[in-house]
Amino acid sequence: MKFIDDLLGGLFPEKNRKLAIRENFTISPDEERNAVDWMNSPDGKSVLKSVYDNFHLKKAGVNKAPEVHVLQSPYANGFAVTFQAPLTKDDFSRLFVGLGQGVLGLGYRKVSLDRKIEVEHELVKVTERYYFKPPLAAADLEKKIDQLFGNISLEKISLNNRPNYLKVLVTVYADRLYLKAAPFDRFMDQLFNAD
């Protein structure tokens, strides 16, 4: 009977049924180079400065567009940037790819780049995600492992093919095998070339 139910469910899906697809994907070297070039251009530098400044303003209780949300906990810190003016759709995509290249420039290694597509109640949510880890350390059991800032995930979320927000989250290792993570503020300064 389950076979018949599955067959009918595939032909006549329920309205509130949730569908999720996950896939790995790649970003071309040209797209990566274009994003880095854009980040070094006056327009890109202006967007980076705006996000960086708005992060610090948000910590002081001031909101400016594009709105930046501060994410803080004992083991994870980060921020999310809402898609709104003055950001364009192209800026948003270049910011995602460019920040990914910036994380690589901090000495990290890319572990994955994946996309998750979810459909629920006529809403299509697409999450593109980079995941980075600190470089592998030599197997010297006498020394603690340098975790740099911790693990880094970078997500770009779109709803119904419209950018929604971009999130950067740094999660630290609390294990005694690791050195203490470098401060998140230093991560922000280095990622946004503000130091």
Which of 113, 109, 154 has the alpha carbon at shortest distance from 136?
Answer: 109
Q: Return d(Cα 130, Cα 187) in angstroms, integer.
A: 17
State how beta strands 109-120 and 123-133 pair: antiparallel
Q: What does the block give as tokens for 107?
A: 């000495």
**pLDDT surpasses 90 at 67:** yes
**pLDDT surpasses 90 at 13:** no
The answer to whether the predicted template modeling score (pTM) of the entire model surpasses 0.85 is yes
CB 171 within 8 A of CB 151: yes
**pLDDT surpasses 60 at 7:** no
**pLDDT surpasses 80 at 66:** yes
CB 179 within 8 A of CB 144: yes
pLDDT at res. 95: 97
**CB-based burial of residue 117 (10 Å sphere; 0-12 exposed, 13-18 middle, 19+ buried)?**
middle
pLDDT at res. 164: 97
- pLDDT tens digits for 107-151? 999 999 999 999 988 899 999 999 999 987 666 677 888 899 999
Q: Return d(Cα 95, Cα 38) in angstroms, integer.
A: 9
Q: What does the block give as tokens for 184?
A: 């998140």
